[in-house]
Structure 1
Amino acid sequence: MLPKFLPLIFALWAAAALPAAAAPGGLSVLSSASAAPLLLGESHRIHSGLLAEEREYWMRIPTAFAGETPPESVTVVYVLDGEKLFASTAAFTSFLEGSRLSSLGPTVVVGVVSGDRTQDFTPTASNARRDGTVDENAKEVGGGAESFYHFLTTELRASVESHLPQNTRVARRVLIGHSYAGLFTLNVLLWHPNAFDGYAAIDPSLWWDRGVVVARAVRAGARTVEKPAPELYVAFAAQTRPETSYHLARADDLRAKAFPVLNEQGVRTSIRFFHEEVHGSIALPGIFDALKKLFPAKPEAGSALHPASE
């Protein structure tokens, strides 16, 4: 099946709020006879045998692929909740890959469209609340993170990389997630640290199941980490509200108790608190900051991501 192109039109998000006025070609009222769509990427669908369902992902191809000679290597950035975060992440990489501010280089962005977020992104089934208390009358939900991890790193990865030019290799792979997806990203680092070269967990839902992921990080870190070790970036929205106190306490545990364990194992860690952001607003500034941190313009020894093993 041919991919369905995703046109990126001026004022992409604002256009969704405009009245649905008729226009030639089915585009918005901003169109004209001479207008041409700007392509953000492609939409692909695959059937997952592991998840027993159809899944969709969006793919941004770097501009370097338009030349006669494709780049020898690319970075592939997987961003979860792609229906919300793909467009911005693609725009960030488009800016950084040609900028002196970053060492990013040609980058493919894969936006993984969400299914059941609670099931896919949480490592354990739980009926615990956000404040750490347990609702004994509530049904336990979640717990599908390991199955989703295997889908992500086998079926989805194979589909994505089948679209790359034959002689272009994947030098680095990065996983980015926000909220539940940030929890998933951190959990993958702990259990499968070398599955990706870099991890960015943006305000991860550390409260899940009474802080089970942080407890695991403090207890064992990324126990199976091998060289070259991955890099972890974590961002938190530090605007405090009553319902965030338990969550931010787990963030303090992560920094003070888990990071030393991870650093001793070779995982390079960094953390940033965004004091003007709340959980719902941190995703975009967090992702942009993560890309700058993971791909600095002039990396010092040991701070840049290492190429993925072949």
Structure 2
Amino acid sequence: MKKLVLSIFTAFFSLCALAQKDNKVTIGSIDSIQSKILNEQRKIWVYVPSSWTPESKQRYPVLYLLDGNDHFYSTVGIIQHLSQGIGNTICPEMIVVGIPNTDRIRDLTPTHVDAAPPFTDSLMLKTTGGGERFVSFIEKELIPHIDSLYPTQSYKILTGHSFGGLTVMNVAINHTKLFNSYICIDPSMWWDQMNLLNKTRNSLRENKFSGTTLYLGIANTLREGMEITKVRSDTTKGTRHIRSILNLDQYIKEQKQNGLRYESKYYSNEDHGSVPLIAEYDALRFIFDKYRFKLTPKDLTDPTVDLVGKFERHYQEVSKLLDYKLSPPEDMINELGGDFLQRKEYAKAEGLFKLNVANYPESYTVYDSYGDYFLAMGNKSKAIEYFKKALSIKENPGSRKKLNTLL
């Protein structure tokens, strides 16, 4: 059934999410947008979950990914692993928008510098300081473009590494409500004599960040022989990167009154280049720490457990957390209902199928499954009714065969 849905999705939306074409496995598609703000054509890499179908009209949170050409595949893989299947419901399925670079140091630096700082070449500095124009491009052109073409929810995440992390902090501090959550990985807070770091310290004291979540991943960039407990007192240029991040971490933790939901982690076994993968994983676990629905053996075996009520209460709570209506995943409920049906636990099966019909009334699969329930109960007229309903939404061989047999 998933392959059937995927084939419809691919043909209709011109996106290849885990689809095979010409014997190649592809993830996502390449879109583009002509930016008047940046005065250039920008390619955009877009992944949409394979669960999407035109019939269901399902919508998804969006993760915007800086340095998209470097981190797109790994980020999509992490989200797929954490969001798909009965066991892996740690975070919701998401659209991923990767933003490849054209002039990286221009777009990802908030201020212009003339004197060469550490880790950069003076020849690279001519275009620095375009960060605010780049943020304006994201806010006024890219996000409206994505919202107009793709099945988006209002919940948005911005994630970036290194200079991308610097941009994440610039947006989090100066354009806070543009995104709901921020993933900042080993950011280059040393930039421009720690100009943004100092502004961040003041902003954390003076402003409120309620409703905003931030995760900070810190790599081990210490030189050999240096310890994390001693680096703060070091004054050499070689430690400016990690010192600036540790100071950022300290400043955030000192201002708990501002309402920012925050977590940080120091990865002693990861360097600047290796840290994005594990930090992205941990960040999503933190952001969506209350999202996961946990099934217990009692839920599956005790007939007195109100499983439907448990699902409804949990997703009502998560909907409040994410500030948009969230329903139990259609596939999860359908598979659970099918399992109970096979075990002849008809009351639980019916409750789950009814829940899916209520939440996904434009999906043919929920009516087909409910028809299976009535068929198992010997209610021929109801089974016919629901198979016909499934076919009225979408012609499919499974429902058609069952209906023809009944007729």
TM-score (structure 1 length as normaliser) = 0.78
Task: Give the residue type in structure 2 aligned to 1:130.
Answer: P
Q: Partners of 2:89 and 2:208 in 1: how far apart? A: 27
Task: Give the residue type in structure 1 aligned to 2:263.
Answer: S
Relative to structure 1, the CA distance from residue 162 to residue 186 in structure 2 (aligned partners, 3 Å threshold; closer, same or farther) is: same
Contact 1:128–1:210, Cα closer than 8 Å, also in 2: no
Shift of 1:5: 6.1
**Alignment-derived partner of residue 185 in structure 1:** 168
Shift of 1:239: 3.8
Aligned pair partner of 2:219 in 237, 243, 253: 237
Count of residues in Structure 1 that have an aligned counterpart in Structure 2: 276
**2:253 counterpart of 1:259:** yes
**Alignment-derived partner of residue 263 in structure 2:** 270
Q: Which runs of 5 or more residues in structure 1 are unaligned?
A: 11-26, 28-34
Q: Partners of 2:108 and 2:125 in 1: how far apart? A: 17
Give the superposed CA RMSD: 3.3
**Alignment-derived partner of residue 83 in structure 1:** 69
**Alignment-derived partner of residue 200 in structure 1:** 183
Task: Give the residue type in structure 1 aligned to 2:187.
Answer: P
Higher fraction of helix? 2
Relative to structure 1, the CA distance from residue 287 to residue 65 in structure 2 (aligned partners, 3 Å threshold; closer, same or farther) is: same
Aligned pair partner of 1:49 in 32, 36, 42: 36
Q: Partners of 2:90 and 2:282 in 1: how far apart? A: 14
**Partner SS state of residue 145, structure 2:** helix
**Alignment-derived partner of residue 24 in structure 1:** none
Shift of 1:234: 0.7
**Alignment-derived partner of residue 142 in structure 1:** 128
Aligned pair partner of 1:130 in 109, 113, 118: 118
Contact 2:66–2:98, Cα closer than 8 Å, also in 1: yes
Determine what percentage of the aligned residue pairs are the same residue. Answer: 27
Larger Rg: 2
Contact 1:4–1:44, Cα closer than 8 Å, also in 2: no
In the TM superposition, structure 1's runs of 4+ consecutive aligned residues that sit over 3 Å from their partners are 2-10, 99-103, 137-141, 222-227, 297-302
**Partner SS state of residue 52, structure 2:** helix
For 1:29-108, list aligned pairs within 5 A: 36-66=23-53, 68-71=55-58, 73-98=59-84, 100=87, 102-108=89-95
Q: Which runs of 5 or more residues in structure 2 are unaligned?
A: 1-11, 224-235, 293-313, 326-407
**Alignment-derived partner of residue 153 in structure 1:** 139
Shift of 1:177: 0.3
Shift of 1:224: 5.3
Q: Partners of 2:131 and 2:124 in 1: how far apart? A: 21
Contact 2:15–2:48, Cα closer than 8 Å, also in 1: no
Shift of 1:306: 3.0
Deviation sequence 1:9-31 (CA, Å, 0-9, x none): 99xxxxxxxxxxxxxxxx9xxxx
Q: Partners of 1:131 and 1:93 in 2: how far apart? A: 32
TM-score (structure 2 length as normaliser) = 0.61
Shift of 1:7: 8.5
**Alignment-derived partner of residue 173 in structure 1:** 156
Contact 2:91–2:291, Cα closer than 8 Å, also in 1: no
Shift of 1:92: 1.0
Q: Partners of 1:222 and 1:76 in 2: how far apart? A: 29
Higher relative contact order (CA 8 A, sep 6+): 1
Shift of 1:138: 9.5
Task: Give the residue type in structure 2 aligned to 1:232.
Answer: L
Contact 2:109–2:131, Cα closer than 8 Å, also in 1: yes
**Alignment-derived partner of residue 219 in structure 1:** 202
